Each structure stands twice: as structure tokens, then as C-alpha cells.
Amino acid sequence: MSLAVGPSERPLAVVREVAALRSAVTPWRAHGETIGLVPTMGALHAGHMALVERARAECDRVVATLFVNPKQFNQAQDLASYPRDEARDAALFESGGVDLLFAPPVSEIYPEGFSTTVTVSGLTDCLCGIARPGHMAGVATVVTKLLLQSLPDIAYFGEKDYQQLLVIRRLARDLDIPVEIAAVPTVREADGLALSSRNAQLAPQQRALAPLVYRTLCEAGSRILEGVSVIPSLERARKDLLGAGFDKLDYLELRDGETLAELFEAKPGARLFAAAWLGAVRLIDNVPLDSLRA
């Protein structure tokens, strides 16, 4: 997917130190301006830009962050191959109306001797919390830091990473961080594939299969709504994906959209979740059951 870079009204300032970030946002807050935060790992696509757009529409000032967080990668190869292009990302942030980009080096976020980890229990005992050991704690730790460093009024996260969104909501509430956590619906390609920075790593044949994750979740959800039992519906969906050529499934489950408790029958707020591998690329997606009602 290509994203157009157009002229922006305000030039983008880039800071790399927490002190500089604080110096920039303090006067905005003093003048009563509201601040929206959009945390990213870069390799921007239209999903990230939907968060920027929401923040731009709802806040006086928009701060974006660009930090490929080593603590949330549980595989060294995944971290090493993560796409990076700061100049392109900065141009896109600028064209989206971002005021300030915080793009720190790893040493600024995790200085020598860093020894604190934020863990959210319960919500992380399933899905990616199990499939990617350490990942959720890595996310929770860095997002806690970014929230405390920038003290935004609203921070924007995508429903694409739904478990992450719930974990961040919970940590903000539990730690009394005075921020609203806003959820932005998943942005998809025309064929249904959820936009992801990792999609670029798919070979053409894998890219052709990738939309099946979403399609299969929708089909399973529709069957459940038609009255087919949950367990066989999910079993068939798993078989469909593996039969189509997916190499491995980490999970394909129906869970409560607030507690993430596993569900064996349909109920309001339920969501289907899947994580599926095509070669070395792991795709995740989720669909609210209610969105599939005819």
C-alpha cells in the first residue's frame, strides 16, 4: 500500500530525549491545549494513519512516538528483520498533522541498569500473552513509560491488537495514569487483510493466502450466529486455515471482549481471535461477533 505525502500546515519537530519531549509538551499543557498520543513502532501504513487522524480530529496537539521496542520481541530474528525507515515515517507523520515526533534511541528508554517491568495479570494469561512469552510485559512497560513521559489527555491504540488495547486500558486504570485510552477500528486492505507492518514480509503466494484469516473468522462467526455450536465452528475454521496452506495456528478462539474469558457460546461483546503463521510471518486478527449479525 502506498501512502501519499502531502504538504502539512505545521512542521514536524523531532525529539530524541525524554527531557526534550517534556519541554515541548509542558507549555502546550500550560496553555490548556489537549494532547493526543499515538505510539508506534514505525513502518507506517494506513492503520497507523487512522490513529493519527483521530488524534488530529480530537486533540489540539498530536505527539507520535517511533520506537521499535526490543522488550516486546520474543524472537531476535523478528526484531532484526522489523522494517525501519524513519525518514519515510517522519514525512507521513508530518503530512498527517503530527506536531511532535518522539523517536528515542534504545538507551534513552532503557538506560544502563533499567530494572522495572510492568505486568498486567489475568488479561495476559491467554492469546498472545501465552503464545509470545514476555511480549505483553514488554508492551506494558514501554507504554507505561511513554504515557508518563508525555502525559497525554488521550492515547490512541488500534483494535487490531485488541488484547494489547485491553492491557493498556487496565494498566492506565490500575496505576492511576490520568489518560483516556481510545480504540480505533482495524483498517483493512480491500480483500480484508488487516494492515500490518509485517505484511510486507509476505511472499506473493503467502500474500494471496493472508486474507483467509479474516474471512475464516467471519465465516466461523456467522456459523455461530446461525446456531452452530462454538467448538465445532472453531475446529472447522482451524482446519480450513491449515488446509489452505497456513503453517501453524497459535490460537483461534472465541472470547469475551472485555475480560478475554474463553466463551463456548455466543454472547454480546464476544470476539473471535486468531494468530496464524505463514512461513516466518505471524498474522493476528480479531472480529467482534456482533459486527457479523445480518
Residue 48 engages ligand AMP in binding (rule: CB under 6 A): yes
Q: Which residues neighbour 230 within 8 Å (Cβ) at sequence distance 6 or greater?
A: 224, 254, 263, 264, 265, 266
Sheet containing 180-184, strands listed edge to edge, beginning at the edge strand earlier in sequence? 13-15, 100-102, 61-66, 35-40, 154-158, 180-184
Taking contact as CB under 6 A, which single stretch among the options 48-56, 127-135, 218-226, 240-248 is the one that binds ligand AMP? 48-56
Among 89, 161, 253, 285, indicate the residue that binds ligand AMP (CB under 6 A): 161
For residue 249, the minimal CB distance to ligand AMP (Å) is: 20
Q: Parallel, antiparallel, or unpaired for β 13-15 and 248-256?
A: unpaired
For residue 11, the minimal CB distance to ligand AMP (Å) is: 23
Residue 40 engages ligand AMP in binding (rule: CB under 6 A): yes
Among 41, 52, 64, 140, indicate the residue that binds ligand AMP (CB under 6 A): 41
- Closer residue to ligand AMP, CB minimum distance, 21 or 165: 165
Among 21, 35, 37, 50, indicate the residue that binds ligand AMP (CB under 6 A): 50
- Closer residue to ligand AMP, CB minimum distance, 179 or 230: 179
Residue 140 engages ligand AMP in binding (rule: CB under 6 A): no
Which residues in the 81-120 window bind ligand AMP by CB under 6 A?
none
For residue 26, the minimal CB distance to ligand AMP (Å) is: 25
Is position 48 annotated as part of the catalytic site? yes
For residue 134, the minimal CB distance to ligand AMP (Å) is: 16
- Closer residue to ligand AMP, CB minimum distance, 52 or 224: 52
Q: Of 122, 161, 119, nearest to 144 (Cα)? A: 119
Amino acid at 62: V
For residue 30, the minimal CB distance to ligand AMP (Å) is: 28
Which residues in the 176-235 window bind ligand AMP by CB under 6 A?
184, 186-187, 194-197
Binding site for ligand AMP (CB under 6 A): 40-41, 47-48, 50-51, 157-158, 160-161, 184, 186-187, 194-197
For the annotated catalytic residues, the residue numbers are 48
